[in-house]
Structure 1
Amino acid sequence: MSKELTERQKEVLEFIENYINKHGYPPSIRDIAKAFRITPRGAMLHVVALEKKGYITRSKKARAIKIKYRTEAIRLPIAGEIVAGNVIENIEDSTETVDVPLNMAKSIFEYFVLKARDESMMSEHIVNGDYLILRKQYTVNNGDIAVVLLNNTQRMLRKVYIKDGKLVLMPINSHMQPMELPADKVEILGKVVGVIRIYGQ
């Protein structure tokens, strides 16, 4: 069983995977060192740690890093539903699951799934019955779609923008108004990283 990674090791593993996806071959140790502004020796230590923990394999050849995946998909439970941009938890069919490809849900992070239950998010090409895959994280970039928690009570799906130290929450539903709140009044719970649509349901 693979051991838990440090935050930096997660970042290095994600960099390796993204590099392979972009270039079609793995990065060199110098590529990793340059990306993280560390010495080649420091990059090698991270690579060795990833190998020892079972996340990659490598040989003595140049650019010979391979990422190990034990399965092609992971099965995630449905954590809730989205209606008019609001997240409803503890849905009746709590045993429902969906298979999520590993290129959408990398094993080094935690994820949860929400199911769209209306057509209010069509502007983002999200329709009734779609499964939204969210990565658990507490920060986002401008324009990311995320689940946010307001005042420890209300969960909603919004586009998030940062403006003058405040968070602007833009509704995906065009009939709703944006909200601008102090950052300490909003908690980011997860970022949308993919949408799965199953036809013929």
Structure 2
Amino acid sequence: MKGLTDKQQEIMDYISEFTHREGMAPTIFEISDHFQVQSATVFSHIRALQRKGYVNRSSKARSLALTQSNKPRHFSLSLSIPILGRISAGAPLLSEEHVEQHISFDPTLLPRQTGGHKLFGLRVQGESMRDLGIMDGDLLIAKQTETASIGDVVIAMVDGETTVKSLYLSDGKWELRPANPAYKSRFYPLDDLVIQGVVVALQRTF
């Protein structure tokens, strides 16, 4: 079967996740509402997916079905997520020079709000986030974004280095807070912190 565009892959992932969660396929309207695009745009992507052999659809309501599975309540597509090595300041986050490998990841393990975001992975070094269950050697999955909410675990660039910490605001400065009493929070002026992503999942190898 032919390859997919990024948006077609995102739509397929959403159909898979929705079907797994709700026990039925999403409607065209639900897909368009999720991605904040017009229904006609979704129709165009669905027709393209049908031509490529990835999707079946009839005239009945909620008839969307992915062709890769005979048991839609128990299947999930695998996302290919790039695992990044050392990230240098000023370079595009997902540039080829940063990507060490790709892994397959079950999209149903991701929060719903990650739809539409590019994902990347980083390997944890150290134990500064231990008390949040983030251990040395864990693989973090993050959505690429330049904004975050207070309390989010973020991938941030400070002083040319990438770090993983919880984000807070304290006395007009950003606080990067560890989750281990052996480490102390660090504080940065608002313009000195670059958020690269928000952690949405974790993968651990035993």
Task: State the TM bucket, normalised to the shorter chain.
Answer: 0.5 to 0.7
What is the aligned-residue RMSD (CA, Å)? 4.1
2:193 pairs with 1:191: no
The 1:142–1:16 alpha-carbon spacing in structure 2 relative to 1, beyond 3 Å, is farther
CA distance in 2, matches of 1:74, 1:25: 25
The 1:45–1:163 alpha-carbon spacing in structure 2 relative to 1, beyond 3 Å, is farther
More strand by share: 1
Which residue matches 1:100? 104
CA distance in 1, matches of 2:150, 2:169: 6
Q: 2:78 aligned to 66, 72, 80, which one?
A: 72
The 1:55–1:2 alpha-carbon spacing in structure 2 relative to 1, beyond 3 Å, is farther
CA distance in 1, matches of 2:172, 2:19: 36
The 1:99–1:29 alpha-carbon spacing in structure 2 relative to 1, beyond 3 Å, is closer
- Residues 77 and 96 in structure 1, CA contact (< 8 A), matched pair in contact too: yes
The 1:78–1:68 alpha-carbon spacing in structure 2 relative to 1, beyond 3 Å, is farther
Which letter does structure 2 place at the counterpart of 1:27?
A: P
- Residues 80 and 113 in structure 1, CA contact (< 8 A), matched pair in contact too: no
Q: Give the deviation of 1:63 after TM superposition.
A: 0.6
Q: TM-score, structure 2 length as denominator?
A: 0.63
Q: TM-score, structure 1 length as denominator?
A: 0.64
Equivalent position SS for 2:189: strand
Gaps of 5+ in 2: 69-75, 88-97
2:142 pairs with 1:143: no
CA distance in 1, matches of 2:123, 2:80: 17
- Residues 142 and 201 in structure 2, CA contact (< 8 A), matched pair in contact too: yes
Gaps of 5+ in 1: 82-93
Percent identity, aligned pairs only, is: 21
2:15 pairs with 1:49: no
More helix by share: 2
2:115 pairs with 1:113: no
Aligned residue-pair number: 179
